[in-house]
Amino acid sequence: MTLKTKTALVTGSTSGIGLAIARALAAEGANVVLNGFGDATAIEETRAGIESAYGVKVHYSSADMSKPEAINAMVREAEGAFGSVDVLVNNAGIQFVSPIEDFPADKWEQIIAINLSSAFHTMHAAIPGMKARGWGRIINTASAHSLVASPFKSAYVAAKHGIAGLSKAAALELAPHKITVNCISPGYVWTPLVESQIPDTMKARGLTKEQVIEDVMLKAQPTKEFVTVDQVAALAVFLCSDAASQITGANISMDGGWTAQ
Ligand code: NAD
């Protein structure tokens, strides 16, 4: 239990990678602030479930990561409820796929706001408290797309490259304060969202499940295996440990070899 007495705020943690990170940090003893959208009853079940499974306190914030005032209020709320935000995980993210000339301008703005600017605003609000306590961990869920591009994902690739740069600048600023800032850059992660796309792709392309996984989804991933949410969460937990105190400004790939090519 390395994180007892600490508080972790994980944006976009009502599903997928963020939820796995929130659970893993709770398992280490951290109080947790969940954030994200979804069905209110399901979110409450998740919140209460983490509390009872790990004996920690869990608060939920519905703050919209595209709204700077809401982000600021969420951080203040977290500090009010638990006294601090010690671990900040910027994870909320959305995707939109389109050629640039057809890319709706409002989608561009939304992706930059949620996938990139939200991390500036959470840091802006949470860093003073971390500095005052002389300890902090900031972990940004980037992507293989923070290092390489794919066509038709211009806003996502720009935002993810941006968050990699933001993390490096923040790491340099915060190095004297025992606050580390790192990116985790997953390749294709097995989430319900990914799994649910398989039957349609099988039908549309006349492929078997294995062909969809290996030749379509994992084309760029040499291991031909998905990353799991628990693997990403385990790395986040490690980055919070004392053993990781000298890892800062790093962009750690977990992509089955994708970006080694
Ligand atoms: P997901 O759709 O399961 O989760 C996204 C979370 O963000 C949800 O909780 C959702 O409610 C929340 N969210 C979306 N818009 C929001 C907003 N405006 N305000 C607050 N919360 C909002 O997706 P995921 O696959 O778990 O993705 C999480 C992160 O991991 C994203 O940043 C994504 O870019 C990154 N990532 C995912 C993969 C993958 O293959 N799944 C790979 C690399 C990186």
**In three state form, how does the secondary structure of 89-121 look?**
EECCCCCCCCCHHHCCHHHHHHHHHHHHHHHHH
Note the pLDDT of residue 192. Answer: 79
Q: Which helix (H) or strand (E) holds 206?
A: none
The model's pLDDT over 83-132, given as tens digits with 9 standing for 90+, comes to 999 999 999 999 999 999 999 999 999 999 999 999 999 999 999 999 99
Output the six-digit token pair for 261.
């090519």
**Which parts of the chain register pLDDT below 70?**
1
Strand partners, 32: 8, 58
Q: Which amino acid is at 229?
A: V
For atom 25 of ligand 1, the residue with the nearest CA is: 16
What is d(CA 1, CA 31) in angstroms, rounded to the nearest whole number? 12
**20 CA → ligand 1 middle, Å:** 12
- 227 DSSP 8-state letter: E
Helices (H), the chain: 16-27, 40-54, 68-82, 105-112, 118-133, 154-174, 192-195, 198-205, 209-211, 229-239
Note the pLDDT of residue 163. Answer: 98
Note the pLDDT of residue 1. Answer: 55
For atom 43 of ligand 1, the residue with the nearest CA is: 143
Tokens 């649910």 label which residue? Answer: 196
Note the pLDDT of residue 106. Answer: 98
What is d(CA 7, CA 4) in angstroms, rounded to the nearest whole number? 8
Note the pLDDT of residue 200. Answer: 87
Note the pLDDT of residue 187. Answer: 96
Residues 6+ positions from 95 with CB-CB distance below 8 Å: 111, 153, 156
Q: Which helix (H) or strand (E) holds 136?
A: strand 136-141
What is d(CA 82, CA 166) in angstroms, rounded to the nearest whole number? 27
pTM of the predicted structure, to 2 decimals: 0.97
**7 CA → ligand 1 middle, Å:** 21
Tell me the CA distances in angstroms from 95 to 36, 193, 250, one per residue in order: 15, 12, 24
Catalytic residue list contains 156: yes
Domains, the chain, ordered by start:
7-189+227-260 (3.40.50.720)
Q: Is 182 exposed, middle or buried (0-12, 13-18, 19+ CB in 10 A)?
A: buried
Q: Which amino acid is at 188?
A: Y
Kindly list the protein residues whose Cβ atom lies closer than 6 A to any atom of ligand 1: 12-18, 35-38, 64-66, 91-94, 114-115, 141, 143, 186, 188-189, 191, 193
Q: At what angle do helices 229-239 and 16-27 cross, to 10 degrees?
A: 50
The model's pLDDT over 97-107, given as tens digits with 9 standing for 90+, comes to 999 999 999 99
Q: Are 205 and 216 in contact (CB under 8 A)?
A: yes
Output the six-digit token pair for 197.
């796309």
Note the pLDDT of residue 24. Answer: 98
Q: Are 174 and 139 in contact (CB under 8 A)?
A: no
